[in-house]
Amino acid sequence: MPYDCRRCNQKFCSDHRLPENHNCPGLQRGGKDSKQIISEINSKKKKSKMNNVEKSISKLVPESIRRKSSGNMWAVFLGIIGVTYLLQLLTLFSFGENVHNALFVLEANNLEYFWTILTSIFSHSPGNVMHIIGNAIILLFFGRILERIIGTRNFTILFLVSGAIAGISQIILSIILGNPTSGVLGASGALLAVLGALTIYNPKMKVYLYFFIPIPLWVITVAYVFVSIFGILSSGGFMGNIAHIAHISGLLIGLGYGIKTQDKYNAPKKLTR
């Protein structure tokens, strides 16, 4: 006949019904009732699963690079973006657009090219130099600050996860809205996640626009939101050359991350360099 343990709420036979006979976790928990103990056990299991996911994601960047780049992963990402851009140009001129897209562009009609979920984050439009320059500037200023606040490991995970989800969301919604041949590339989604997190940590942080016009960070964030929404709603905006859905997705991820962790970190009051 099974017996319920009142400390851990599990069933045991008569030989093991006493807490000391089945190594009951309640013995080390100050006599807490079964609901409290079960809740703590489930919470630990959930945290363990999340840690395993984070470890899997962090393995995308080799450990040797992570050790050497501690505090400077933003610079590593900046270097990867530069090298990827050169490889894009070389591939485009040597093998043509089809090979280039298969390697660097996340496309709705070629989802079997799973590596593009990652490579597309670091790729940029070969014919639009301002695309890569603009993202490089954001990574240089904002990425460096965020990594300093949340640490290299968390920054790496946030950048890669938000970049991947932003690209995938753009593709999914483009298919839903009737454009199954669309593609997406660029670090904008990941960088807007960076911007979103910083905005939550300190919305009044001063940013010197064009290096001499001081404005609070929240103004830049709100401006991005309005531009993206206008681009989505305007005629042909969604199907244009700007991945507005990816921008919004990345920003929402960053805002969510910031809200969840805002009690842990403090952002500087101004950003000047």
The answer as to whether 63 is a domain residue is no
Question: Is 9 found in the same domain as 116?
Answer: no
Question: Is 202 found in the same domain as 128?
Answer: yes
* Residue 272 banded pLDDT, cuts 50, 70, 90: very low
Which residue segment(s) compose the domain that 23 sits in? Answer: 3-52
The answer as to whether 27 is a domain residue is yes
* Residue 35 banded pLDDT, cuts 50, 70, 90: low
Answer yes or no: are the C-beta atoms of 269 and 204 closer than 8 Å: yes
The answer as to whether 46 is a domain residue is yes
Asked which of 60-74, 190-204, 222-236 is least confident by mean pLDDT, the reply is: 60-74
Question: Is 184 found in the same domain as 253?
Answer: yes
* Residue 27 banded pLDDT, cuts 50, 70, 90: low
The answer as to whether 256 is a domain residue is yes
The answer as to whether 178 is a domain residue is yes
* pLDDT(30) > 50: yes
* Residue 262 banded pLDDT, cuts 50, 70, 90: confident
Give the pLDDT confidence score for residue 263 in this predicted structure. 83
Average pLDDT of the segment spanning 82-102: 93
**Cβ neighbours of residue 205 closer than 8 Å, sequence gap 6 or more:** 198, 216, 217, 267, 268, 269, 270, 271
Question: Is 27 found in the same domain as 104?
Answer: no
Asked which of 27-31, 70-74, 198-202, 269-273 is least confident by mean pLDDT, the reply is: 269-273
Question: Is 176 found in the same domain as 262?
Answer: yes
Question: Is 192 found in the same domain as 102?
Answer: yes
CATH of the domain at 109: 1.20.1540.10
Give the pLDDT confidence score for residue 211 in this predicted structure. 65
Give the pLDDT confidence score for residue 268 in this predicted structure. 59
* Residue 238 banded pLDDT, cuts 50, 70, 90: very low
CA distances 19 to 14, 28, 37, 141, 263, Å, are 11, 11, 13, 57, 38
Task: Enter the tokens of residue 28.
Answer: 């080390």
Average pLDDT of the segment spanning 257-268: 80
The answer as to whether 60 is a domain residue is no
CA distances 38 to 9, 34, 44, 79, Å, are 8, 6, 10, 47
Which residue has better confidence, 245 or 69? 245
d(CA 9, CA 43): 16
The answer as to whether 58 is a domain residue is no
Give the pLDDT confidence score for residue 122 in this predicted structure. 95
Question: Is 80 found in the same domain as 42?
Answer: no
Question: Is 145 found in the same domain as 32?
Answer: no
Tally of domains within the chain? 2
Task: Enter the tokens of residue 78.
Answer: 């900046």
Average pLDDT of the segment spanning 98-105: 92
Question: Is 154 found in the same domain as 228?
Answer: yes
The pLDDT tens digits of the residues spanning 153-182 come to 999 999 999 999 999 998 888 788 776 667
Give the pLDDT confidence score for residue 194 in this predicted structure. 94
* pLDDT(4) > 80: no
Percent of the chain, pLDDT > 70?
71
* pLDDT(229) > 90: no
Question: Is 165 found in the same domain as 31?
Answer: no
Task: Enter the tokens of residue 180.
Answer: 């199954």
The answer as to whether 59 is a domain residue is no
* pLDDT(33) > 90: no
Question: Is 11 found in the same domain as 100?
Answer: no
Cβ atoms < 10 Å from Cβ of 47: 10
Question: Is 150 found in the same domain as 214?
Answer: yes
The mean pLDDT of the chain is 79
d(CA 69, CA 159): 15
* Residue 24 banded pLDDT, cuts 50, 70, 90: confident
User: What is the identity of the amino acid at 244?
Assistant: H
Answer yes or no: are the C-beta atoms of 149 and 267 closer than 8 Å: yes
The pLDDT tens digits of the residues spanning 45-83 come to 666 655 555 555 455 555 555 454 567 899 999 999 999
